[in-house]
Each structure stands twice: as structure tokens, then as C-alpha cells.
Chains A and B, each alone.
Chain A
Amino acid sequence: MSLKIIQPGLSTSIQDLGRPGYFHLGIPIGGAMDRFALRVANMLVGNPEGAAGLEVVFMGPVIEFERDSLVAITGADLPAKVDGNPREGWTSFVVKAGQTLSFDFLKADARAYIAISGGIDTPPALGSRSTYPIGALGGIEGRNIQAGDVIPLGDAEMVEAGMSVPANLRRMPANPAELRVLPGLYWHRLTPKAQDGFFADNWAVALEADRMGYRFKGGNPLEFVDREQPFGAGADPSNIVDGCYSYGSIQVPGGLEPIVLHRDAVSGGGYFTLGAIISADMDLIGQLQPHTPVKFRKVDMAQAAEARAARKKMLGSVRAHLG
């Protein structure tokens, strides 16, 4: 039993919680940009939290259902319709065999998650169904979905429809968005003035913002501490001998536009990184539209741990609520 894709939307991909274990070969973890939203969508329809669903960017798909299913949409405010009739976000609803799920225009944020009871059951690649188009892994033939695709579903146990997550347990970025940063890695390459300026400046999401990384613009160019470049690094002061990149790490080629690496990160390269976004804020990045104003806020490891614990607690509250 399956889903039939009538229209794919702008860039809709099958994602679960990713494929850890291959970053040393340049194959990133991938998976949902906003993991909280995917987990909650799955909970709402009675799936395991890591089941594969659809990640929708900006514009929704049109999907015909071949079997009765429970569906939930979380994440971005992308109003859903079943045969033209509106359905609430963050709330489970039934789509019957033969009915069509479609969407209105996006109202806020960037990525919506569609969970369907039983989960998407395409063949896993390296332990995950997540789509990684650069390496042609996961999803359908390693690509985003397209019109005409027939997507297989797993066996489902129908749970009760109409379950909902209260507003205080839905997590979306503020505007301006705040992203917390733990300085480190090659932080010492920046002058004290540049270090302060990075956090003081007002940034905005640039057009180049995708699953691999988010670029930011609007701040002042960063100045580097003078040095003779180490052998093998390259002549630009922002160059280093190619090393590993952390998920969430912030590179600034030429000192100009920061790039935050996300779930489909390149695993390494030759640009200095000034630190990384804390794990608790990674989900938020995937919800930022281009032009969204952003402030980076400096935190220490204790604050990062606190933020992570808060996120864990929130997920626990959702679990308890949906019990």
C-alpha cells in the first residue's frame, strides 16, 4: 500500500533520523533538519519517533493516498487540506483511501514534516531511508521525490485521530532568530575585534541555505590574526590544512559570509571554523527562511548542556502528553 505523488512540491525528500557512522568517508548523517518536528509528527500517528516521513521545503506536495492512514503535519506553518478541507497542524487526522492531501501557501518558517501511520518504507541505504542526493543514497533512487513516484508504506496500527500537541510544546524560532554558539575550533584565528563583532553584528539568512549548510550575510568582514600561513593550508588567511568539520560548525571563507554546516554537511575542508552552533539549536536553523534576521549568541559549555537538557525535557513532555 502506498502514496502516489501527484505534485512533488519544491524540494520534498524522504527523511528519518539519519545514518551515523560514515562521516569519516564523507557521507554525512543526514536526516530531518528539524528532528524535533519529525519525532513529534511520528508520535502523533503512532509511529516510532525515527520512522521515515517527508520533509517539505516552502511548498507542499499533492499526495493521493491508496489506503486509510493517520497523518500529522508538524514544523513550519504550512496549512494542510484533505480533498480541499483544511486540517490543523501538530494534530493527527485521517486521510482515507482515494483522498488527496494538499497544502495552502506557507505562512511561516521553512520546513514542514509529514508523518504517515506505518512510516515510509523505501529500502534503507547504510541503515537509513534519509535522502542524500549528493551521494545518491536513500529516498527513491537517492533523489528528492517527483511527480509519479509511488512511495511504499509500512504496516500500521491505527491509533486514535485528533491527538494534538499544545502550542507551548511546539518549538519554532523567534524573529529575529537567536542561534547559540560555542566558540572554539579555530576561534583563535580571529582578532578580538572580529570575535566581538561576530556576536554584535546583525546577520540575515542568505539565499544559499539548504540541507548542506546555511549561509548568513549582513555582518562586517572578519579580521584575522596575522601569521605566516602553515605549509599546505593555502594563501588566504581563512585557509587551514584541510581538516574535519563539525556539524553546526561555522566557517567563514575569506572572512566574509558565515556558513553553518547542517545535516548534509561536507565532512571536511580547508576553511577555518570559529566554533559551532550548540546541538540544542540545530533544529531551529532548518526553520529559517532566507532574509530572516539572526543574532548569534555566545555561550559556554555549561549553557550548552543546560539548553540540551531543556530540549530533552520538552520532548519528554510531548511524549507524556501523547502518552
Chain B
Amino acid sequence: MKTRYSHGGDEHIYVEMDDEMSLDAFFKSLSMSNAVRDAKIKGVTEICPANASFQVRFDPDIIAPDQMMKKVKELEHKAENAEKRLKTRIIEIPVYYQDPWTHETLMRFRQRHQDPSGSDLDYAARINGFDSVEGFIEAHHSQPWFVSMVGFVAGLPFLYQLVERGKQLQVPKYLRPRTDTPKQTVGYGGCFSCVYSVRGAGGYQMFGITPMPIFDPEQKQSYLKNFMVFFKPGDIVKWKPIDRAEYDRILAEVAADTYTPRIAEVDFDLDAFNADMSGTNAKLMEALNVA
């Protein structure tokens, strides 16, 4: 893992902790971006942590780009001693896999896909060596996920599955991005899952849809009263497969604003996780079961 620094024009510093994805790179990036925030450097306007990198935006009229670069580099030692523990939460997100709305959409954009003959799930299951779509869906939801980045558009989470690298699911993005994706689509690209927070363009494969809003600018949902964006980096997610009846029931609750996501407070320790992945995951999911 080698840290790489670059200017992004004259208003940004970009720091890549590693060019490949790992939770170690995520924790290093998060702790270094926190160190930049804590340093309260005059002129900094935005600090954006990503999966294995982060970006600082600043006003070059207040601090010169080279000075800013120097100040960020001075904080690298903080990342070396990254705190690999988080007090966080695990959230159950209901997913209606193979739903009619993402199916309609993927059929509409079939000519932009690697394999126009089947669905996104057919393709993903096949290239990941699964005999059936059902087996692939099982692999997608049986182990929890880690929110390693929020962004792209309003409040969209990127999620990284908490399994060893050999078990990670990987799929390419669409050959050409779609111009439409239903709101709350559960998508997949590279090794990341995501939830499209709003309707719009997208290049990730589409697996299903959640009835649970995760972005609400009007903040009508009780669980979005404090802020319009639900996810933050470090959140842990467990997908819960649901059927049409369950989907409709939750949708009605959302409309009546009586829906409450199932959430449990948990600690996540990267060293403990690396030492015993299935044991750590079992404990995380247990916390959810008693929530």
C-alpha cells in the first residue's frame, strides 16, 4: 500500500491510500481525512472520504495549493497509526430482488449491456460461477456489507462485502451507462454494491429494489428528521430478501411514515474481523436479531 498525492486542479488535493480496494485502505483513508478535518486548516471547504482515497477542497486565495499539499502530507503519520475500530450501527435493508421495475428498466437498456440475452442477475450469477440466480442472490445477502463511501449523487452508499477477497462478487459496469435507474435500486459494479438514492443515470448492474427511502430532501420520514441523508461511511448493512407482499406492506408504512428501519449499535474491529470473518459477522447479525 503506497500513498499517492495529486493536485486536482488548483482547488483540490487528492490522496489515494491504495489503488486497490481493501478495508485497510478504507480505514487509513478515513483516519487521515479525519486528521485533516481535526487540523482545522484555514481555507479548507470540503473533506470527502472515499473507498480507498479522499479529497480536500480548499480556497487557493486563502492557502496556496503547494502549502495545502504540504499540510496534508504532514498528517500521513496519523494514517499509519489508523484507528481500525469503529463504534457504528448495523442496519437491515429490505431488498425485493428481481422486482418488476428494475426488470423493465434493464430490458429498456439491454443494448448497452454486455449480455443482452438475459437479465443483469443472470449475467452476474454466470460470470461469478454460480449455477443459479438464486445461489448468487443468497451470496449477495447472506453476509453483511460495509459502507465505504457515500457519494456519486445525493446520499448514495457504496458498500463493500465483509467476506474474504476470494468470495467477493465482481461484475463490470454497463458498457454504456443508462440514462435511467429507478429510485432505490440495489446495484452492483466492480466489487461494490450500492443503493441509488434518487432516480437517474447509472452504470451499475441492477439486482433489485428497496422500499426504504435513504434520501429525503423534505425529511418527511421520521428516521430522516435529523438529516436528509441516511447513510454515512462505516455503517454496516445486512440485506434482507423480501417478496412483493412484504415490499408493498413496507411501502404503505413508508407512505404513512410509520416505517422504522431495524438498527443495532455495534463495534467493528478490523483486526478482529480479519482474524475471524464468519465469527465477527455472526456477532454483527446477532445484534440485529435482538434489536
A residues neighboring B (CB under 8 Å): 20-21, 23-27, 125, 134-137, 142, 182, 184-185, 187, 230-236, 239-244, 246-249, 253, 266-270, 273, 275-279, 301, 304-305, 308, 312
Contacts and interface: CB of A to CB of B under 8 A. Distances in A.
B64 A23 contact: no
A233 B20 contact: yes
Contact of B60 (A24, A25, A305): A305
Interface stretch (B40-48, B84-92, B258-266): B40-48
B10 A134 contact: no
Contacts of B192: 232, 242
Interface of B: 6-12, 14, 16, 18-22, 45-55, 57, 60-61, 64-66, 149-156, 158, 160, 165, 168, 170, 172-173, 177, 189-192, 197-198, 200, 215, 217-218, 229
A239 B150 CA distance: 19
5 contacts: A137-B217, A187-B6, A231-B191, A242-B190, A243-B16
A134 B48 contact: no
B38 to A, nearest CB: 15
Contact of B190 (A20, A234, A301): A234
Contacts of B152: 26, 242, 266-269
Given A25-B229, A268-B149, A308-B60, 13 more contacts: A24-B47, A25-B155, A26-B153, A184-B14, A185-B6, A232-B191, A233-B21, A241-B52, A241-B190, A247-B57, A301-B66, A305-B64, A308-B10
Contacts of A185: 6, 8, 14
Contacts of A270: 173, 189-190
Nearest to A25: B229
B9 A275 contact: yes
Nearest to B8: A246
Q: Which of A26, A235, A304 has the most CB of B within 10 A?
A: A26
Contacts of A142: 217
A26 B156 contact: yes
A277 B153 contact: no
A266 B153 contact: yes
Given A231-B165, A240-B19, A301-B66, A25 B151 contact: yes
A182 B11 CA distance: 11
A230 B64 contact: no
Contacts of B165: 231
A301 B152 CA distance: 27
Contacts of B149: 242, 268
Contacts of A187: 6
Contacts of B51: 232, 241-243
Contacts of A308: 10, 60-61
Nearest to B21: A232
A243 B50 contact: yes
A246 B190 contact: no
A275 B189 CA distance: 24
A241 B151 contact: no
B233 to A, nearest CB: 9
A85 B156 CA distance: 49
B232 to A, nearest CB: 8
Contact of A23 (B52, B57, B61, B191): B57
